[in-house]
Chain A
């Protein structure tokens, strides 16, 4: 078991553990911080899975920008008031949710198992998306050649979101 395997095991365990922590922590600020840790673990996993670009992106966009937004929101809301109640509903609801989540997990696993393995012929050389600069080039090709239209559409979506947020913020100022 080499260094890579050790790191993989550590970060996989970390991702799962922090995810559970997010779900079970009552305090929203702590939950947010645990979520950042969860995201960083995932970023590390991406890097180990030959996706360094996505790893960097994960750190910058998710752990950086999006989580800052979250913390902003936490600050603007009065968390003391919401935090006072228990994080979970009654035991019946928790049991029901647990059942649903477990069912979902089981079905997904069975589904993946039933999926025809032959159709997913593994690449001749594992890690073929390339490492380092090669990876960036290949992702860029996938993005801007076959995915050009989707790329544009995502741009429009982001613009729409920006405008929507602006409208909401403006109305608040008027009020």
Chain B
């Protein structure tokens, strides 16, 4: 029952849940968490396939994804706090200053 297909399906489900969260939530922090969730679904798929195929390169890829996610979180949270400092409001629906 717990073949590679199961874990891929779980990863896809997490990905869809994350996407749904990004599309519906207005709190930028929660949106961020959902984006991280989508990252993690990808990681899960990589780990599962690595095991299925007997490859260590999938693990290396996960390592990189984690590093990139860390960088992204650091910058993203910095931006969110900067916005909050100037706008006193972090509802993404109220933020449309950059639409050009």
| B36 touching A23, Cβ below 8 Å | no
| A85 touching B57, Cβ below 8 Å | no
Partner of A20 from B17, B29, B30, B64 at Cβ < 8 Å: B17
| B54 touching A146, Cβ below 8 Å | no
| A85 touching B91, Cβ below 8 Å | yes
Interface size class of chain A, counting residues whose CB lies under 8 Å from the partner chain: 35 or more
| A31 touching B54, Cβ below 8 Å | no
| A82 touching B91, Cβ below 8 Å | yes
| A54 touching B47, Cβ below 8 Å | yes
Distance (whole angstroms) from the CB of B18 to the closest CB of chain A: 7
| A120 touching B53, Cβ below 8 Å | yes
Q: Which residue of A lies closest to B73 (CB)?
A: A66
Known contacts being A23-B25, A32-B29, A101-B16, is A126 close to B51, with CB within 8 Å? yes
In chain B, residues 10-33, which have Cβ atoms closer than 8 Å to a Cβ of chain A? 10, 12-21, 23-27, 29-30, 32-33
| B10 touching A22, Cβ below 8 Å | no
Q: How far is the CA of A28 from the CA of B81 in the complex (A)?
A: 15
Q: 3 shortest A-B CB distances, which residue pairs?
A: A123-B54, A128-B54, A97-B23
- Additional A-B contacts beyond A46-B47, A70-B33, A82-B27 (7; CB < 8 A): A35-B37, A65-B70, A66-B69, A73-B77, A87-B25, A146-B57, A158-B70
A-B contact pairs, 9 of them (CB 8 A): A8-B2, A38-B40, A49-B48, A82-B91, A100-B19, A101-B20, A104-B15, A128-B55, A142-B60
